[in-house]
């Protein structure tokens, strides 16, 4: 999802959140933009049907304050070079699968997820509540094989997923960022930022959405970004945007996986989101 931006509606309460990594990762723009992404990686991005116009190197911030270089794609997906190459090696002969990547979490996996509570990147009380609600969104669904065990603390190293507040490194944006699964495991690092002025429901929405990316979902409106008031394509349906049978192929105005959402978002799955989760897990 993308960072906060006041969109095409006039009322502030209905402004749109654009949640992404964009410039909000506070990377060294001059240095990072001068480093060209290798053609073999760009070829993988293209093969995965993601937008090759928005691929760059940037600095990714971990909860303990350390950093590493990562590739940023479509402005809300972050991956290391190794993760991108692994995703590109997935068998392309997949079933038509709302829209998911080829790389998914292993069936039946219980995902250990921790809400980070240490130092400047700790989740606030509101954000911790929102994370609990987001986990409840997934765990309450019958007929879904993956589940989550949530704890709070700072010992995230052995957890499958860590959710933390990265506002300190994203002073000008509001939203979140995540990556895709690899090797049967979910994306580990889920960042949120700039959401303190928004309701618990909006925080829940952002976290649920980013967890959705982390278990393999792409934006429901990748083909138009209509929820953002745009008419642009993140990458046509194909290897990396597999349609889930039984869900709409057109615009789904209430999906939690829309690229953008209003400040009145309730943070809950719609029926198509639930159908998709049950279909792939």
Task: Name the β-bridge partners of 110.
Answer: 147
Angle at which helix 200-214 crosses helix 125-139, to 10 degrees, equals 50
Lowest average pLDDT, out of 6-10, 57-61, 262-266, goes to 6-10
Mean of the per-residue pLDDT values of the chain: 78
User: How far apart, in whole angstroms, are the C-alpha atoms of residue 84 and residue 45?
Assistant: 8
How do residues 75-99 score in pLDDT, each as one tens digit? 678 888 888 887 776 544 333 335 5
| Per-residue pLDDT, 281 | 92
Query: Is the pLDDT confidence value at 12 over 50?
Result: no
Q: Among the ranges 1-10, 40-49, 143-152, 256-265, which has the highest mean pLDDT value? A: 143-152
How do residues 208-233 score in pLDDT, each as one tens digit? 999 999 998 888 865 656 667 756 55
pLDDT-derived band at 3 (thresholds 50, 70, 90) equals: very low
Q: What domains, with CATH codes, occur in the chain?
A: 4-280 (3.40.390.10)
8 Å CB contact between 243 and 237: yes
pLDDT-derived band at 29 (thresholds 50, 70, 90) equals: very low
| Per-residue pLDDT, 200 | 98
| Per-residue pLDDT, 248 | 66
End-to-end CA distance of the chain: 23
CA distances from 271 to 83, 156, 252 (A): 31, 32, 10
pLDDT-derived band at 65 (thresholds 50, 70, 90) equals: confident
| Per-residue pLDDT, 236 | 42
């Amino acid at each position: 999802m993308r960072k906060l931006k006041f969109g095409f509606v006039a009322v502030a309460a209905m402004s749109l959140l654009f949640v992404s990594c964009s410039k909000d990762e506070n990377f060294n723009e001059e240095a990072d933009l001068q480093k060209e992404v290798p053609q073999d990686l760009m070829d993988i991005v293209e093969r995965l049907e993601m937008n090759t116009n928005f691929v760059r190197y940037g600095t990714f911030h971990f909860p303990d304050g350390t950093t590493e270089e990562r590739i940023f794609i479509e402005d809300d997906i972050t991956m290391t070079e190794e993760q991108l190459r692994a995703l590109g090696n997935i068998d392309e002969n997949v079933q038509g699968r709302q829209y998911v990547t080829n790389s998914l979490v292993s069936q039946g996996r219980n995902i250990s997820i921790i809400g980070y509570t240490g130092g400047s990147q700790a989740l606030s009380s509101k954000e911790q509540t929102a994370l609990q609600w987001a986990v409840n969104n997934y765990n309450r669904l019958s007929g879904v094989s993956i589940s989550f065990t949530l704890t709070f603390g700072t010992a995230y190293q052995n957890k499958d997923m860590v959710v933390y507040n990265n506002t300190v490194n994203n002073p000008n944006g509001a939203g979140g960022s995540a990556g895709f699964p690899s090797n049967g495991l979910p994306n580990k690092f889920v960042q949120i930022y700039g959401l303190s002025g928004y309701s618990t429901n909006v925080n829940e929405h952002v976290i649920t959405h980013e967890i959705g990316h982390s278990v393999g979902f792409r934006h429901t409106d990748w083909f138009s970004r209509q929820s953002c008031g745009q008419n642009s394509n993140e990458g046509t349906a194909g290897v990396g945007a597999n349609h889930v049978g039984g869900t709409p192929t057109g615009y789904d105005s209430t999906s939690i996986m829309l690229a953008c959402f209003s400040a009145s978002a309730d943070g809950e799955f719609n029926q198509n989101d639930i159908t998709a989760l049950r279909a792939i897990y």
